[in-house]
Homo-oligomer: A and B are copies of this chain.
Amino acid sequence: MSAFRFQVLAQDWAARRGEIETPRGKIRTPAFMPVGTAATVKAMFLDHVREAGADIILGNTYHLMLRPGAERIAKLGGLHKFMGWQGPILTDSGGYQVMSLSKLRKIDEKGVTFSSHLDGTKFELTPERAVEIQNLLDADIVMQLDECIRLPAPDNEVERAMQLSLRWAERSKRAFEGAEPGRALFGIVQGGTLPKLREESARALVRIGFSGYAIGGLAVGEPQDVMLTTIEQAVPELPADKPRYLMGVGEPGDILAAVERGIDMFDCVLPTRAGRHALAYARFGKINLKNARHAEDAKPLDEQSQCPAARDYSRAYLHHLVKANEMLGAMLLTWANIAYYQELMQGIRDAISAGRLKDFAAETRENWKREAR
Contact = CB atoms under 8 A, between A and B. Distances in A.
Contacts of A51: none
B327 A82 contact: no
A67 B77 CA distance: 46
A130 to B, nearest CB: 21
A330 B45 CA distance: 12
B75 A321 contact: no
Given A316-B82, A327-B331, A296 B76 contact: yes
Contacts of A45: 328, 331
Contacts of A44: 328
B43 A82 contact: no
B83 A43 contact: no
Contacts of A327: 40, 42-43, 276, 327, 330-331
Interface string A31-55: 0000000111011110000000000
A253 interface: no
A317 interface: yes
Contact of A84 (B298, B313, B331): B313
A135 interface: no
A82 B320 CA distance: 10
B67 A324 contact: yes
Ranked 7 nearest A-B pairs via Cβ? A40-B328, A43-B327, A68-B320, A38-B324, A40-B326, A76-B316, A82-B317
